Structure 1
């Protein structure tokens, strides 16, 4: 099992995406985040087919910190039932993986 994951979600606006990413990084639940968009999404929602523009948020963290990050994203997200998905990072440069671990480690004091 990998020790690192990339977590994705989406928001309705860029401001929502930046706020969500910023709150997760400031809380040290994610090492960093990227906001991508707008993107066009095609989906099923409440039994109906739809399309719309969203802003994708990609965050990196450790598997140990993932449950806290997920809880944070669900609590702070503007939607009631957002998609939050974690994908294992199966390989990465040693320095990048170390940066993720160091950035999400709980701080002393």
Structure 2
């Protein structure tokens, strides 16, 4: 069984979040994505504290597709240095995890 990941990024608006989310699924880099927001964000940037609203995009994928997915996110992202993080999906139903693998399989 492949290793499974939940990958996350944030964007400044819903339109850019939706574009990255839908294009990742269309390219089969993610089995599914969710867009949530806006969320309040508090951060350290350019030497000072900041705050703003962001949209969170969550991707379900396999480890073998991570590098391609991360490059895809960065290429379509409006920010120069976007967040692209991944955490291992340690447990999940067998049927769901198999679906993730099948949905992200390279032809």
- For these two proteins, the number of residue pairs brought into alignment is 106
- Is 1:4 the counterpart of 2:15? The answer is no
Q: Once the 2 structures are TM-superposed, how far is the Cα of residue 106 of structure 1 from its aligned partner?
A: 1.2
Q: Distance in 2 between matches of 1:99 and 1:57?
A: 20
List structure 1 segments (4+ residues) > 6 angstroms apart after TM superposition. none
Q: Distance in 2 between matches of 1:96 and 1:16?
A: 27
- Could you list the runs of 5+ residues in structure 2 that have no partner in the other structure? none
1:36-95 CA distance string (max 9 Å, x none): 010000001111110000000000100000010001111111111001000000000011
- Could you list the runs of 5+ residues in structure 1 that have no partner in the other structure? none
Give me the TM-score of the superposition, normalised by structure 1: 0.94
Match of 2:92 in 1: 92
Match of 1:50 in 2: 50
Residues 56-75 of structure 1: pairs in structure 2 closer than 5 A: 56-75=56-75
